[in-house]
Structure 1
Amino acid sequence: MVSATVDSEADILSNLNIKAGDWPSNLVKNLCLLSPDQIELGKMLVKMGQSHLFQQWTDPGVEDDKKKAFFAQVAKLNSSYPGGLASYIKNARELLADSKVGKNPYDGFTPSVPTGEVLSFGDDNFIKYEEVGVKEAQNAAFVLVAGGLGERLGFNGIKVALLAEATTGTCFLQLYIESILALQEGSCRLTQGTFQKDIPFVIMTSDDTHTRTLEVLESNSYFGMKPTQVKLLKQEKVACLDDNDARLALDPHNKYQIQTKPHGHGDVHSLLYSSGLLKVWLDAGLRWVLFFQDTNGLLFKAIPASLGVSATKQYQVNSLAVQRKAKEAMGGITRLTHSDGIYMKHLQFLEARTANSV
């Protein structure tokens, strides 16, 4: 029996053109359980220095279902990151190496205030751009990044279910949908359209928020928006790293499961691309995609004007920002100019001063 097993392993390795010494022995023993696709994933993991993942694997016939579940998770992680897990590990190693030696990617650059349009809420210039923006709204799609919970705010639920104001009990998600519907109606009226175009609304969710976001929408009849207008895209998690060599971390309670964590907001762009929505919107003649985050009740006071600026000045990218006071603990948008005269591409920005901004 032992001899037959060894012969079987040798045949598999020979067929795969793999040297036994190059692979962790516990993985070699279990090759007979794996499909061709799973074996390819195993090759990738070994090549990327992840042999430790198989260190505690048992012999075939023991916990086989968990081993297959491991590769199902690896396949999901591999498909959800641009370039796959190999690219994720490679990028992580480069970033960790730079961090370890204190490398600053902005060395040699001098920051300065970027160019942009400064608007004051309600003045003639603001109203002019706002009218242009309302007209353009029918050619736009709105994307809400809503993957977070309200725990830090003392709220046991999703952030978009928080009250935007207490008088009517309107939550943020309702406020956003009603604002988009108002723009939809206003755009049709100003352009003297014969029918309203439905403005697409995408919500990026996470494992923590997806089901609860859907429940809020369905229990409130989508707050008056057609369900077909709303699309939920769930952000997948990424693998956790164990050290500066970017070794993937195993769950301390399950040797057949890789620890994962939520990824950043930047996932929204790859999700829109991989979902095919960008092509659908392009084919439908849409010109603009507006991204916003989950708890900013004043945002839609400025969005029409910012869209109007983009349309008037033919910006490809435009960021909406408020004035930042010196030493204030908030991010800023800047232009970076290198000592050799080359400047880093930066986002044009619109500075909007709202009457109630803080």
Structure 2
Amino acid sequence: MATSAAEELSGLSIGDDWAASCPSLRKNLSILSPDQIELAKILLNEGQSHLFNHWPDPGAEDEKKKGFFDQVARLNSSYPGGLKAYIQNARKLLADSKAGKNPYDGFTPSVPSGEVLTFGDDNFIKLEEAGVREAKNAAFVLVAGGLGERLGYKGIKLALPAETTTGKCFLQQYIESILALQEASCKLAGGQQHMQIPLVIMTSDDTNAPTLKLLESNSYFGMVPSQVKLLKQEKVACLDDNDARLALDPNDKYKIQTKPHGHGDVHALLYSSGMLYHWKSAGRKWVLFFQDTNGLLFKAIPASLGVSATKGYDVNSLAVPRKAKEAIGGITKLTHADGRTMVINVEYNQLDPLLRATGHPDGDVNCETGYSPYPGNINQLILKLDSYIEELGKTRGAIAEFVNPKYKDSSKTSFKSSTRLECMMQDYPKTLPPSANVGFTVMDTWLAYAPVKNNPEDAAKVPKGNPHHSATTGEMAIYRANSLILRKAGVQIADPVNDVFNGQEVEVWPRITWSPMWALIFADVKRKVNDKCFVSQRSTLVINGQNVFLDGLSLDGTLVVNAIDEAEVKVVGSIQNKGWVLKHVDYKDTSFPEEIRMRGFKIEKLEQLEKSYTEPGNFCLSS
């Protein structure tokens, strides 16, 4: 009797000799599609036959077997070069790790060239205006693949309030800042066609749906929905051993265990999406990358973009002054013995030994400024679009990877748990040619950098003098920056008092916030205040409106001003009330919401003067 096609495929036919080393897979070829068979060949060629050892004969768990290949197809398509390239890269990196190879062997570090800015001086003001002028030619990319679990928060980090005076979440603050840049830039262009600044958000399986829900339930915080694009990052396969054998999920033998690949994936996602070419055809020149919980970032962006435009930087890394040996990566120029050079972030625990090994016996030390000459990288990048497209045309967005296996013992033959390859967004410059113009822009930490990444317990353990980087310090940093900006503009701002929340000592400045439409750059602030104004330490000042002017205001309490753009409001005279006060909250007290507990305080609203102007016209607000 003639054999069926299925029997022929599952038997010892000539066409399946490639699977002879894996009988359990060979028996199941009949249930697989041609595409799935090609994927199976890749896996066997790369030494992954163990993935099929447990497979029963055809007819048993066939849907799960097909589901396995659905996952393999996703892993293959989402990695530049596919699974074959991933496994081969992993073998090389794991061999280097086992051998203890130093990635910086042959390189000599030196201080790169960049711009160090002083807030409020003439140069800073000029660069801010240049940055606003360029903003209409920019696109923004927000890397937001993480949940807030590390902070003690169950939701996505973008939904966290940046500060609790207004309750605006990080995503709202970012979008309002981009919209303010958009309006100011088009205005400076003098009647040019109104251009929307695009925003791309890189999400993950964990954050994609909640991010979309946050946008949709808040009408995209004022953006046109088509202005915002979500790109979902896939995970990568885990590795079980030094031979780069892929790890099966301990809870499902028909799934490969996966973990995040790191925010470096953003480059490959942008390349494969085709958006870069669309932006270029629309006349865009710059791509700005930023991360999800730095409430100060947009105070630094206009001047940094101005630096990129005036210097013609292909890559501009935003940076802050960094103390020698401080636990933050340093931006460093590396020159290899063979002549190669690159300007990249070198992690602090690698920079000091690298300097010692290359003729600097004291390693990383402070210079005459009191800071290390290697500025602190804060993972915010501005890339020139033309050269970015050219580079990604060669690399398809693949970023230099690393692997960090946790070995069971000094023999380095087995792992405590599975590992995976990782990549970082800021390592993009590693593949650039020597002709690339790579620099940095340093700004004061108080103005540019206050990330929220530690939970209260971990933040309280940070050694004295080091940044806590918690929700507590992130919020207080916003009030401090706004107070210092107003003080620089001539307003008399009372000195802060010290207090302790969740075990962290912080300076408590007046709780001052304003919408980006009120003041995007320092020149805006200077135009709208004068030196006859005073704000006491216990005060709260909230300004929502483009044309609100503080003219001799003396505030001791709480004032909230809301005004439409067509309403011009002059705020004068003395305003005094009981105001809003900060009440201590214990982070273990579950009667409070997570976003309050993680700060260690809540705002008790006793009394305020709140005025809203919803009609066009000129108005005067006084007590």
Q: TM over 0.5: same fold? A: yes
Q: Is the 8 A contact 2:331 2:343 kept in 1?
A: no
What is the CA-CA distance between 1:353 and the residue it aligns to? 1.6
Do the aligned residues in 1 keep the contact of 2:11 with 2:27 (CA within 8 Å)? Answer: no
- Asked if the contact 1:148–1:208 (Cα under 8 Å) also holds between the matched residues in 2, the reply is yes
Match of 1:351 in 2: 442
- CA separation of 1:197/1:78 partners in 2, compared to 1, >3 Å: closer, same or farther? same
Matched, 1:8 2:99: no
Q: Secondary structure at the match of 2:290?
A: strand
- Separation in 2, partners of 1:353, 1:205: 30
| Match of residue 617 from structure 2 | none
Q: Map 1:67-216; keep pairs closer than 5 Å.
A: 67-216=65-214
* Equivalent residue number for residue 33 of structure 1: 31
Higher helix share: 1
Does the CA contact (< 8 Å) of 2:112 and 2:331 recur in 1? yes
Q: State the structure with more CA Rg.
A: 2
Q: Secondary structure at the match of 1:215?
A: helix
Q: 1:7 to 1:141 in 2, by over 3 A?
A: closer
What do the CA deviations read for 1:25-84 (whole angstroms, capped 9, x no partner)? Answer: 000000111111111111000000000000000000000000000111101110000000
- Counterpart of 2:286 in structure 1 is 288
Q: 1:185 to 1:30 in 2, by over 3 A?
A: same
Q: In structure 2, how many angstroms separate the alpha carbons of the residues matched to 1:5 and 1:222?
A: 55
Q: 1:263 to 1:111 in 2, by over 3 A?
A: same
Report 1 or 2 for greater relative contact order, CA contacts < 8 Å, sequence distance ≥ 6. Answer: 1
Output the amino acid matched with 1:233: L
CA distance in 2, matches of 1:342, 1:6: 57
Q: Secondary structure of the equivalent of 1:204?
A: strand
SS in 1 for 2:443: strand
One-letter amino acid of the structure 1 residue matched with residue 14 of structure 2: S
Q: Does 1:311 align with 2:320?
A: no
Give the TM-score of the pair, scaled to structure 2. Answer: 0.55
Q: Cα distance, 1:196 vs. partner?
A: 1.9
Mapped to 1, the partners of 2:205 and 2:85 lie a distance apart of 23
**Identical aligned residues as a percent:** 71
Q: Secondary structure at the match of 2:134?
A: helix
> Structure 1 residue 166: deviation in Å?
1.2
Distance 2:4 2:228 in 1: 58
Q: Tell me the residue number matched to 2:321.
A: 323
Aligned partner of 2:256 in structure 1 is 258
Deviation at 1:337, TM superposition (A): 2.1
Instruction: State whether structure 2 residue 235 is matched by structure 1 residue 237.
Output: yes
Structure 1 unaligned residues grouped into runs of 5+? none
| Residue 251 (structure 1) shift | 1.1
2:269 is aligned to 271
Q: Structure 1 residue 148: deviation in Å?
A: 0.6
* Cα distance in 2 for residues equivalent to 1:289 and 1:12: 55
How far apart, CA to CA, are the structure 1 residues paired with 2:343 and 2:263?
20
Number of the residue aligned with 2:60 = 62
Per-residue deviation, residues 209-255 of structure 1 (Å, max 9, x unmatched): 00111111111111111111000000011111111111000012221
Residue by residue over 1:275-294, the C-alpha shift from the partner in whole angstroms, topping out at 9 and shown as x without a partner, is 11111101111100000000
Q: Residue 128 of structure 1: CA displacement?
A: 0.6
Change (3 A) 1:119 1:27: same
Task: Specify whether residues 195 and 93 from structure 1 end up closer, same or farther in structure 2 by C-alpha distance, changes over 3 A only.
Answer: same
Contact 1:34 1:68 in 2 (8 A): yes
CA distance in 1, matches of 2:174, 2:9: 59
Partners of 1:271 and 1:20 lie apart in 2 by 34
Counterpart among 335, 339, 343 of residue 337 in structure 1: 335
SS in 2 for 1:71: helix
Change (3 A) 1:354 1:192: farther
Query: The residue matched to 1:334 in structure 2 has which SS?
Result: strand
Cα displacement string for residues 155-188 of structure 1 (whole angstroms, at most 9, x for unaligned residues): 1111111111111001110000000000000001
Alpha-carbon deviation of 1:343?
2.6
Per the alignment, residue 604 of structure 2 pairs with none
Following superposition, which runs of at least 4 residues in structure 1 exceed 6 angstroms of deviation?
3-7
Output the CA distance in 1 between the equivalents of 2:12 and 2:284: 53
Contiguous gaps of at least 5 residues in structure 2? 345-437, 451-623
- What amino acid maps onto 2:128 in structure 1? E
The worse-fitting range, judged by mean Cα deviation, of 154-163 and 24-33 is 154-163
1:6, CA displacement in angstroms?
A: 10
Contact kept, 8 Å, 2:321 with 2:445, in 1: the verdict is no
Per the TM alignment, residue 262 of structure 1 is displaced from its structure 2 partner at its CA by: 1.2
1:302–1:354 contact (8 Å) kept in structure 2: no
Q: Structure 2: how far apart are the matches of 1:55 and 1:354?
A: 55
Question: How many angstroms does 1:342 deviate by?
Answer: 4.2
- Give the paired residue count: 355
Distance (whole Å) between structure 2 residues aligned to residue 20 and residue 298 of structure 1: 57
Could you tell me how far apart the structure 2 residues matched to 1:111 and 1:132 are?
A: 32
Query: Secondary structure of the residue that 1:141 maps to in structure 2?
Result: strand
For the Cα contact (< 8 Å) 1:141–1:200, is it kept in 2?
yes
In the superposition, relative to structure 1, how do residues 286 and 15 fare at CA in structure 2: closer, same or farther (>3 Å)?
same
Cα deviation 1:300-328 (Å, max 9, x = unaligned) = 11111111111111111111111111221
Q: 1:259 to 1:335 in 2, by over 3 A?
A: same
Per-residue deviation, 1:260: 0.8
Indicate the larger mover: 97-106 or 331-340: 331-340
Aligned-partner residue type, residue 15 of structure 2: N
Letter in 2 for 1:232: L
Which residue does 1:48 correspond to in 2?
Answer: 46
Change (3 A) 1:12 1:132: farther
| Superposition deviation, residue 355 in structure 1 | 4.4
Secondary structure of 2:294's counterpart equals coil
Kindly state the Cα deviation for residue 263 of structure 1 after the two structures are TM-superposed: 1.2
Q: Shift in Å at residue 191 of structure 1? A: 1.1
Q: Is 194-203 or 269-278 further displaced after alignment?
A: 194-203
Which structure: greater strand fraction? 2
Instruction: Report deviation, 1:11.
Output: 6.5
* Letter of the 1:248 counterpart: L
Separation in structure 1 between the aligned mates of residue 297 and residue 135 of structure 2, nearest angstrom = 15
CA contact (8 A) 1:121 1:355 kept: no
